Structure 1
Amino acid sequence: MGTKSVGLRRFQSVTAVGLGMVAGVFAAVAAQRNTLDAINRRLERLEEQAGHQQRANLAMQQRQHWELLSKAMDNPELTEVLDIFAVPVTVQKRRQYLFANALYTNLLSYHRVGNLTKEEFYKHARAMFQNPIVREYWYATRHLRASLKGTEEAEIGQMIDELLLQLDEADTDEWWVVGEPPTHE
C-alpha cells in the first residue's frame, strides 16, 4: 500500500507540474497575443495617419497644379511653355485645353483622395466629356497618356477612352445612360 501512495503522489506531482507548465504556456500565449494586438492597433493607427498624410500631399499638389495652370492661363507667354499638344493650337485653344486639364485633374484628385468612388468618377467624367473642347483636349493629349502604362492614371485614362468610344457609337442622345460605370474599387 505504501508503494501505491508513493506512485500516486508521484503521479499527482507530475500532473501538477504538467498542469503548471500548461498554465504557464497559456499565460505566455495570452501575453503574446495582447502584445500582438497592441502592435496591430499601432500599425493601423500609423497606416491611417499615412493615409491622411497622402491625402494632404495630394491636396497640396492639386493646389500647386492649379496655381501653375492659372498663371499660364493668365499670361500668353507662359501658356507657350505648356504647348504639349499633339497638334498646333492657338493661344486661346491652348488656354482652353489647360483649363480642361485643370478640370480633369481636379476630378482625378477628388477620386484619389477618396471623395469619389471610381463609379462616381466615371459618371462625372461622362458629363464632363460632353463638352467638345474637353474632348478635343483629351484627344490632343493622347500621346502623353501613352507613357503612363501600368499606373492608376493609365487605367483611368483607358476607362475614359472606352467611354468616349461608347459615347461616339451610341444611338441615343441620352448620354447619361451610355457606358457601364465600374462597380468595384
Structure 2
Amino acid sequence: MATQKAWTRGLGTAAAIGVGALAGMAVSLAAQHHAMRSLHTRLDELESAARSHQHDDLASQQRQHWELLSKALDDPELAEVLDLYEASVSPKQRRQYLFANALYTNLLFYYRIGNLTKEEFFKHVRGIFQNPIVRDYWYATRQQRASLADTDEAELGQLVDDLLRQLEEADTEEWWVVGDPPSA
C-alpha cells in the first residue's frame, strides 16, 4: 500500500510538473505571438512610410521635370539642349515635342504612384496618341526608349508601340475601341 501511495504521489507530482510545463509553454507561445504581431504591425508601418516616401520622391521628380521642360519651352536656346530626336526638327516642332513629352511623362508618373492602373494608362495614351504631333514625337524619340530595357518605363513604352501599331492597322474610325487594355 505504501508503494502504491508513493507511486500515486509520483504520478500527481509528474502531472503537476507536466501541467506547469504546458502552462509555461502556453505563456511563452502567447508572448511570441504578441511579439510577432508587434513586428508585423511595425513592418506594415515601415512599408507604408517607404511607399509614402517613394511617392513624395516621384512627385518631387515630376515637379523638377516640369520646371526643366517649362524653361525649355520658354527659351528656344535651352530647348536646343533637349533636341535628341532622330531627325532635325524646327523650333516649333521642338516645343510641341517637349509638350508631348510632358503629357506622356505626366501619365507615366501617375501610373508609377498608383493614381492610374495599367488599363487606365492604356486608355489615356490611346487618347493622346490620336494627335499626329504626339505620334511624331513618339517616333522621333524611339532610340531614346531603346535603352530602357527591363524597366516599367520600357514595358509601358512597348505597350504604346503595340497600341500605335494596332491603331495604324485598324480599319475603323472608332479609335477608342482599338487595342485590348492590359489586365491589372
Matching of residue 167 in structure 1 with residue 167 in structure 2: yes
Matches within 5 A, 1:1-185: 1-184=1-184
* Whole-angstrom distance in 2 between the partners of 1:159 and 1:19: 65
Using the TM superposition, give the Cα deviation of residue 26 of structure 1 relative to its aligned residue in structure 2, in angstroms.
1.3
Instruction: Give the paired residue count.
Output: 184
Separation in 2, partners of 1:21, 1:145: 66
C-alpha separation in 2, matches of 1:35 and 1:107:
42
Shift in Å, 1:175: 0.5
Offset at residue 5 of structure 1 (A): 1.1
Q: Which letter does structure 1 place at the counterpart of 2:36? A: L
What TM-score, normalized to structure 1? 0.98
Distance 1:65 1:92 in 2: 20
**Root mean square deviation of aligned Cα:** 0.7
Amino acid at match of 2:46: L
Q: Can you give the 5+ residue segments of structure 1 that lack an aligned partner in the other structure?
A: none
In the TM superposition, residue 19 of structure 1 has moved relative to its aligned partner by: 1.5
Q: What CA distance in whole angstroms lies between the structure 2 residues aligned with 1:22 and 1:134? A: 72
| TM-score under structure 2 length normalisation | 0.98
Distance 1:183 1:77 in 2: 43
Report the Cα offset of residue 76 of structure 1: 0.6
> How far does the alpha carbon of each residue in 1:23-71 deviate from its partner, in whole angstroms, 9 at most, with x for none?
1111101101101100110110111011111111111110110010010
Counterparts of 2:22 and 2:152, CA distance in 1: 52
Q: Percent identity?
A: 59
After TM superposition, the structure 1 stretch with the greater mean CA deviation from structure 2, 14-23 or 157-166, is 14-23
CA–CA distance in 2 between the matches of 1:173 and 1:9?
94
In the TM superposition, residue 151 of structure 1 has moved relative to its aligned partner by 0.5
Q: Which sections of structure 2, spanning at least 5 residues, go unmatched?
A: none
Shift of 1:3: 1.0
Please list the CA deviations of residues 65-114 of structure 1 after superposition, one character each: whole Å capped at 9, or x if unmatched.
Answer: 00100100111100110111111101110110010000000011011111
Q: Distance in 1 between matches of 2:106 and 2:94?
A: 18
Moved over 3 A (4+): none
Letter aligned with residue 176 of structure 2: W
